[in-house]
Amino acid sequence: MALRMDRLATLYAAKPLLRHVEPSLRVVPILMYHSIADDDETRMHAYYRTSTTPHIFAKHMLYLRDNGYSVLRLEELEQRLGYSRNVDRRVAITFDDGYSDFYKHAFPVLEKYGFIATVFLPTGFIGKTRLKFNENPCLTWSEIRELATCGVSFGSHTVTHPQLRDVGLQSLNEELVVSRSTIEHELGMAITSFSYPFAFPEHDATFKRLLRERLQLAGYTNGVCTSIGRVAASADRLFYRRLPINSCDDESLFEAKLMGAYDWVSKPQALWKAARGLFC
Confidence of residue 41 (pLDDT cuts 50, 70, 90): very high
Q: Which one is predicted more confidently, 13 or 24? A: 13
89 contacts 138 by C-beta, under 8 angstroms: no
- Could you give the CA distance from residue 97 to residue 82 in angstroms, rounded to a whole number? 29
Average pLDDT, integer, range 11-20:
91
- Could you give the CA distance from residue 104 to residue 3 in angstroms, rounded to a whole number? 33
Alpha carbon separation from 111 to 104, 147, 233 (Å, rounded): 12, 10, 29
Average pLDDT, integer, range 73-101:
87
- Given a cut of 60, whether residue 2 has pLDDT beyond it is no
Lowest-confidence pick of 15-24, 78-87, 135-144, 218-227 = 78-87
- Could you give the CA distance from residue 93 to residue 210 in angstroms, rounded to a whole number? 27
pLDDT value, residue 1: 46
**pLDDT tens string 224-269:** 999 999 999 889 999 999 999 999 999 999 999 999 999 999 988 8
Amino acid 149 reads T
Lowest-confidence pick of 28-37, 103-112, 176-185, 264-273 = 264-273
**pLDDT tens string 122-166:** 999 999 999 999 999 999 999 999 999 999 999 999 999 999 999
Task: State the CATH number of the domain containing residue 129.
Answer: 3.20.20.370
Structural domains of the chain, count: 1
- Could you give the CA distance from residue 169 to residue 160 in angstroms, rounded to a whole number? 15
Alpha carbon separation from 22 to 14, 18, 178 (Å, rounded): 14, 8, 45
Average pLDDT in the chain? 93
Please tell me what DSSP assigns to residue 166. G
Measured in whole angstroms, how far is the alpha carbon of residue 255 from the centre of its chain?
17
CA nearest 201: which of 256, 162, 170, 150? 162
73 CB-contact burial (10 Å; exposed 0-12 / middle 13-18 / buried 19+): middle
123 CB-contact burial (10 Å; exposed 0-12 / middle 13-18 / buried 19+): buried
- The residue segments making up the domain with residue 35 are 5-279
Interstrand relation of 240-244 and 30-33 (parallel, antiparallel or unpaired): parallel
pLDDT value, residue 7: 95
35 contacts 99 by C-beta, under 8 angstroms: yes
Helices then strands, counting H and E runs in the chain, come out as 11, 14
pLDDT value, residue 25: 65
| 213: Cα within 13 Å, side-chain hemisphere | 8
Quote the percentage of the chain above a pLDDT of 90: 80
